[in-house]
Amino acid sequence: MAESITSKPLTRKDFISDQDVRWCPGCGDYSILAQVQKTFPDLGIPKEKIVFISGIGCSSRFPYYMKTFGFHTIHGRAPTIASGVKLANPDLSVWVITGDGDSLSIGGNHFIHLMRRNFDINMIMFNNEIYGLTKGQYSPTSELGKVTKSTPFGSLDRPFNPPLLALGAASTFVARSIDKRTHHLQDMLKRTHEHKGTSFLEIYQNCNIFNDGAFKNLTDREVKDDNVLVLENGKPMIFGSKKNKGIHLDGFKPEVVELNGKFSVNDLVVHEESDRNLGGILANFTHNEKFPTPIGVLYCEEKPTYEDLLYDQIESAKKRLGEGDLEALLHSGDTWVIK
């Protein structure tokens, strides 16, 4: 039985569960689900080894729609459950599905610790800059002054910059994509999977009910090329509808320059994914109107994973001390015999 399931090559259909998808019509989540279902057959992971773990929120319904193992947990805690799954069985491909409220507000603590521990876990954060499931309160990524149901006079707290937060928390892979850029999103999903270590993929996702058009300037045909910087490793940072703009570094200070004679392609920064400082500079473009919004892999560097280190400790302890002997342990220390 089991063999017949795994021996056929997987297709998109193999990942579609029998549950009706219940997001609002027009929601960006549909596209993300479609790209995941389209990409996963190519990842080469047996379906039974894939686990989707989510918290609470619109995005967190995701696992129900994937015909893999899935766990819809509680608000903000998906990283903690995912950590336990990975430690119990490092062989599994573990994916955390979360939103901006779930991961950065109620789950903020778990977010930073997940990043620094570097389990081989993939976190996909659907960032729509609003609370959807609770019907439209501002989120920790909403812009300052956001007028919502709970902030009729405008929100008072400055938003998180998720990639910068992930970098600050010692993440080893930080990437970003957009729900509407389907091919880019598919590429990023593959990169997210390929990275061994905790991968953080932020996806800008339009909530057409409570925050419609939040990413309009990044997705509308007429303006998107002037507002989005598509990062490619080893390539100069060029953007603009006419490919006529780029990022130039003056020391550590980035600036947007026009390629009009004074500056040429040779003056532009070449993207180096493993450069942590560069990752920080790029992350700082977020919410900064002077700069285009970077998408792609901002930073990627392999470091030992937590679970590898743990299992190494177990193996070396077994080598050093021998396989644990309970009988001997019970009788260790001071014992005495009553005859």
Partner 1 sequence: MYKKMMKKQKNRNKELINVESVVIRFAGDSGDGIQLTGNRFANATAIIGNDLGTYPDYPAEIRAPAGTLAGVSAYQIQFSSKDIYTPGDKVDVLVVMNPAALKVHLSDLKPGGTIIANKSNFKSRNLKMAGWESDPLEDDTLSNYKVYDIEISRFVSSALKDMNLPSKTIERTKNMFALGLMYWIYTRPLEPTIEWLKVKFKSRPELVEGNIRALKAGYNFGDITEIFPASYQVGPAPLKKGTYRNITGNYAIGLGLLAASQKSGLPLFFGGYPITPASDILHQLSHYRNFGVKTFQAEDEIASIGSVIGAAFAGNLAVTASSGPGIALKGEALGLAVMTELPMVIVNVQRVGPSTGMPTKTEQADLFQALWGRNSESPMPVIAPISPGDCFYATYEACRIALKYMTPVFILSDALLANGSEPWLIPEIKQLSPIDVKFAVDPGEDSVFHPYERDKETLARKWAVPGTAGLEHRIGGLEKENITGNISYNPDNHQLMVNLRAQKVESIAREFPAMEIYGKDTGDLLVLGWGSTFGAIRAAVEKLRDEGMSVSHAQLRWVNPFPSDLGGILVKFQKILIPELNTGQLIKLIRSEFLIDAVGLNLSTGKPFTRSQIIEKIKSIM
Q: Which residues form the interface with partner 1 (CB under 8 A)?
A: 1-3, 5-6, 17, 19, 46-51, 53, 56, 63-64, 66-74, 77, 79-89, 91-92, 109-110, 113, 310, 313-314, 317-318, 320-324, 326-327, 329-331, 333-339
Alpha carbon distances (Å) from 200 to 42, 95, 155, 236:
20, 10, 27, 23
Comparison of 251 and 324: residue with beta carbon closer to partner 1: 324
Task: Decide: residue 284, CB within 10 A, 0-12 exposed, 13-18 middle, 19+ buried.
Answer: middle
Give least dist CB 115 to partner 1, A. 11
Give least dist CB 278 to partner 1, A. 29
Comparison of 183 and 331: residue with beta carbon closer to partner 1: 331
Give least dist CB 213 to partner 1, A. 31
Give least dist CB 178 to partner 1, A. 27
Task: Decide: residue 187, CB within 10 A, 0-12 exposed, 13-18 middle, 19+ buried.
Answer: middle
> What does residue 123 show for φ and ψ, rounded to 5 degrees?
-110, 125
Give least dist CB 10 to partner 1, A. 12
Comparison of 45 and 209: residue with beta carbon closer to partner 1: 45
Give least dist CB 133 to partner 1, A. 12
Give least dist CB 283 to partner 1, A. 23
Print burial letters for 25-52: b (CB count within 10 Å at least 16), e (below 16): eebbbbbbbbbbbbbbbeeeeebeebbb
Helix (H/G/I), strand (E/B), else coil: 133: coil
Give least dist CB 44 to partner 1, A. 15
Comparison of 206 and 305: residue with beta carbon closer to partner 1: 305
Rounded Cα–Cα distance for residues 132 and 210 (Å): 7
- Determine the Cα angle at 229 with ends 198 and 260, to 5°: 150
Comparison of 8 and 221: residue with beta carbon closer to partner 1: 8
Sheet strands side by side (includes 238-239): 238-239, 245-250, 253-258
Question: Which value, in Å, is the radius of gyration of the alpha carbons in the chain?
Answer: 23
Comparison of 66 and 214: residue with beta carbon closer to partner 1: 66
Rounded Cα–Cα distance for residues 236 and 247 (Å): 8
Comparison of 70 and 163: residue with beta carbon closer to partner 1: 70
* Segment holding 298, helix H or strand E: strand 293-300
Comparison of 15 and 138: residue with beta carbon closer to partner 1: 15
Comparison of 111 and 291: residue with beta carbon closer to partner 1: 111
Task: Decide: residue 208, CB within 10 A, 0-12 exposed, 13-18 middle, 19+ buried.
Answer: middle
Helix (H/G/I), strand (E/B), else coil: 280: helix
Rounded Cα–Cα distance for residues 74 and 56 (Å): 6
Give least dist CB 232 to partner 1, A. 35
Helix (H/G/I), strand (E/B), else coil: 301: coil
